[in-house]
Amino acid sequence: MTRAVVFRDDVTVEDITLAEVGPGLARVRVTAAGVCHTDLSMINGTLAPSFPLVLGHEAAGVVEEVGPGVTRARPGDHVALNWSPACRTCWYCAHGEPWICETSGIPSFPGGFAGDGSPLNLTLGLGSLAEQVVVREEALIGIPKGLPAEQAALLGCAALTGVGAVQNTAGVRTGDSVVVLGLGGVGLSVVLAARAAGADPVIAVDLTEAKRPLALAAGATDFLLSDDALVKAIRVRTGGRGADHAFECVGRSASITAAWKSARRGGRVTVVGIGKRDDVVGLSALDIFHSARTLRSSVYGSADPDRDLPALADAVLSGALDLTPLISHRISLDDVPDALDRLARGEGARSVVLF
């Protein structure tokens, strides 16, 4: 038995039974787990998983047991969990795009049992808001043992998504101007990465003044509230042109449109947030032609986690990358329902469960 966060009609913390550690599987004792906006998307109708659902997909831990045939890890290894392990055989993987592997993006997989013996489903095959998990070995990525657990937990989602969006998808260079709309854990990770890339200015935007200190701690040079004067204020700070790069980290048509208008002619707009199917973005055909802007999404930071996550871990361990500005709340498993409520209200950054 292990304690886990489960959603049926409401979010509860309860005892569950994990799957057996069979061939190709491993049991991991979770040391820290982040509460991500995607967890909220699983329960608010944005995504369509199967229920009842064990929440969580961003975590780090220590391998406790491995099944027959497992070669990626041994008991005692410290690992971060990868919610989208690539198959390495499909067309996309073969063409160097493992982040859109044909096996990725499935919201939930069957796994484990509730206290009454009924079957459960696991968010993105992990269900990592739990004391322990049983996962496929492909989801395990080794990390240094000296890495602080609370930062290690963020490597598998917030950090890899945000840093990857800057480095891999957008290709931000020294001296580029950047605007970031939406300052949750991923948005703040984009701010961190943009500053590390030498961007200047880095303009952070959110709906609430409470995000200002978080943005500045992450390295933003400017903080703006999102209002009707936003685009003008961004142009004032970017030579009248607009930003070279605009990152949308909310997943709403209104903020995607604002990001589009905030970018200069020829600029790049990168959508990182996950939006709803019926939330349609409207752009005029003339504007698309005349602005010469590029609009694209960044799925999982356009990253290969097997390659990029260990590099991020080394950067954190060396001090080159500090993820602590992303963490606004350190909580227990019992506090996760409140953390999800904060996410729904747009408050704070990452809440990290420490075990």
DSSP-H helix ranges across 81-225: 91-94, 149-154, 160-164, 185-196, 212-218
Residue 154 amino acid letter: L
* CA–CA distance, 262 with 273 (Å, rounded to integer): 17
DSSP label at 20?
P
Instruction: Look at residue 253 in the predicted model and tell me its pLDDT.
Output: 97
Instruction: Classify strands 108-113 and 2-7 as parallel, antiparallel or unpaired.
Output: unpaired
| 355 residues of the chain, pLDDT tens digit each | 999 999 999 999 999 999 999 999 999 999 999 999 999 999 999 999 999 999 999 999 999 999 999 999 999 999 999 999 999 999 999 999 999 999 988 999 999 999 999 999 999 999 999 999 999 999 999 999 999 999 999 999 999 999 999 999 999 999 999 999 999 999 999 999 999 999 999 999 999 999 999 999 999 999 999 999 999 999 999 999 999 999 999 999 999 999 999 999 999 999 999 999 999 999 999 999 999 999 999 999 999 999 999 999 999 999 999 999 999 999 999 999 999 999 999 999 999 999 9
pLDDT of residue 104: 87
DSSP 3-state assignment of 318?
A: helix
Phi and psi at residue 229, to the nearest 5°: -95, 10
pLDDT of residue 4: 98
Write phi, then psi, for 300 (nearest 5 degrees). Answer: 50, 35
Distance separating alpha carbons of residues 225 and 317, to the nearest angstrom: 34
CB proximity list for 230: less than 8 A, separation 6 or greater: 205, 224, 258, 262
CA 87, 88, 91, 93 dihedral sign is: positive
- The structure's pTM equals 0.95
pLDDT for residue 105: 81
